[in-house]
Amino acid sequence: MDNLVNELVEDNTESVSQSLGLYGYHCNDCGTNFLSKTENNNICGYCGSNNVTELNANINNCSVIPFNKKIEEAKEDYRKHTRFNPLIPFSLKSKKYLNNMKKIYYLTYIVDASISGNIEYLATDKNKKVVQEYNVSYDTSFDYTKCLININKKISKREFFNTFKCSLDTLQEFRMSILEDETIILSDCTDEEIIKKIQTVLGKNSIDIVSKDINHKKHKVTNNNLNTKIDLVQPVLIPIYLMNMKYRNKEYHYLYNGVDGKVYYKYPIGIIETIIFGLLVFGIVFLLGYLISIII
Ligand SMILES: [Zn+2]
């Protein structure tokens, strides 16, 4: 199993980066490995640090979902979400900050696989204080075709990556002319981790589907004997506009789907901004109370 990713992903063909002239880099601050069209690039495509060193990295047999949205649209969407929110730190709303928005291609994988085997549950019913338990066993099998699975750890927002599934129709073979000034963020997982993630994601999905058929009030899995057979692991670059925010040493993301503009975001709550907002609300309430007392 360990060699499966090597066999399926790396293949024996010449790497795209070697043949097309992409340069590899490693960020010493956030640990990201990335590719760029620019030689001597000194800006990390993920965190913006200039503490980067050259790296011998490449991508093989890669597909790409090209950008359909312009960066201006992503910036306008960010403004729309932050402009009227009084609790977001002022610093994250500045024009200068907005210029940190990054246009990236994010390396993830499309997977064909089949899962089959048996799942055992302990199911429970409780009627009139009487608890009844049942051992339930299900034989099952599923075929998964063209499943987009996010395998990078850097941005692991499952709900966001699900928005790319409908974009697989625009999938095309990677060619250099597709690239403009984007950075390609490479996977930060080992081959073993990639296989494990595929097994976990598809296994969990299969169990979720089977579990819906159980009519008992409660149930839990007691034995999972599912086997995963992976037929294809296809690397794919997906287009994202990324705003990587740091506030009080914690990381937050604003992610904009470069195909259809769907977003995922989580903003920090500013301490000073919350105090100011609290005082403002208190002041308005106090003033209104005072005015009402005068009128009455
Ligand atoms: Zn970095």
| 113 within domain boundaries | no
pTM of the model: 0.80
Residue 164 to residue 155: CA distance in whole angstroms = 14
| 31 within domain boundaries | no
Question: 25 C-alpha to center of ligand 1: Å?
Answer: 10
Residue 120 to residue 134: CA distance in whole angstroms = 10
Closest CA to 45 of 182, 249, 178: 182
Query: Which pLDDT value is given to residue 240?
Result: 94
Residue 11 has pLDDT above 60, yes or no: no
Question: 287 C-alpha to center of ligand 1: Å?
Answer: 49
The fraction of the chain above a pLDDT of 70, given in percent, is 93
Residue 186 to residue 25: CA distance in whole angstroms = 10
Number of domains in the chain: 1
Which residue has 């499952």 as its token pair? 158
12 pLDDT tier (thresholds 50, 70, 90): very low
Question: 99 C-alpha to center of ligand 1: Å?
Answer: 16
Question: 241 C-alpha to center of ligand 1: Å?
Answer: 16
Residue 161 to residue 175: CA distance in whole angstroms = 23
| 177 within domain boundaries | yes
Residue 289 has pLDDT above 90, yes or no: no
Residue 252 to residue 244: CA distance in whole angstroms = 6
Domain that holds residue 289: 4-22+58-108+145-186+234-295
Question: 213 C-alpha to center of ligand 1: Å?
Answer: 46
The whole-number average pLDDT for the span 117-136 is 89
16 pLDDT tier (thresholds 50, 70, 90): low
Which ranges of the chain would DSSP assign to H, the alpha helix? 4-5, 16-20, 71-82, 95-98, 158-161, 191-211, 271-295
Question: 49 C-alpha to center of ligand 1: Å?
Answer: 5
| 103 within domain boundaries | yes
Question: 26 C-alpha to center of ligand 1: Å?
Answer: 8
Question: 31 C-alpha to center of ligand 1: Å?
Answer: 6
DSSP one-letter code for 186: P
Query: Which pLDDT value is given to residue 286?
Result: 85
Residue 2 to residue 44: CA distance in whole angstroms = 30
Residue 181 has pLDDT above 90, yes or no: no
Radius of gyration of the chain (CA): 25
Answer whether 238's CB lies under 8 Å from 105's CB: yes
Question: 255 C-alpha to center of ligand 1: Å?
Answer: 17
The whole-number average pLDDT for the span 73-89 is 89
Mean of pLDDT over the chain: 85
Answer whether 234's CB lies under 8 Å from 50's CB: no
Answer whether 119's CB lies under 8 Å from 223's CB: yes
Return the number of other C-beta atoms located less than 10 Å from residue 64's C-beta: 22
Query: Which pLDDT value is given to residue 5?
Result: 52
Residue 284 structure tokens:
């308005």
| 291 within domain boundaries | yes
The whole-number average pLDDT for the span 12-39 is 76
Question: 158 C-alpha to center of ligand 1: Å?
Answer: 22
Q: pLDDT (tens digit, 9 = 90+) per residue, 31-49? A: 999 998 888 777 898 888 8
Question: 251 C-alpha to center of ligand 1: Å?
Answer: 12
Question: At 63, which amino acid appears?
Answer: S
| 225 within domain boundaries | no
The whole-number average pLDDT for the span 241-253 is 86
- Per the DSSP assignment, residues forming a β-bridge with 125 are 132
Strand, coil or helix: what is 62? coil
Residue 2 has pLDDT above 80, yes or no: no
Among 4-13, 121-130, 198-207, 212-221, top mean pLDDT goes to: 198-207
Q: pLDDT (tens digit, 9 = 90+) per residue, 46-68? A: 888 899 998 887 777 889 999 99
Label residue 248 left, alpha or beta by phi (over 0 means left) and psi (-120 to 50 means alpha): left
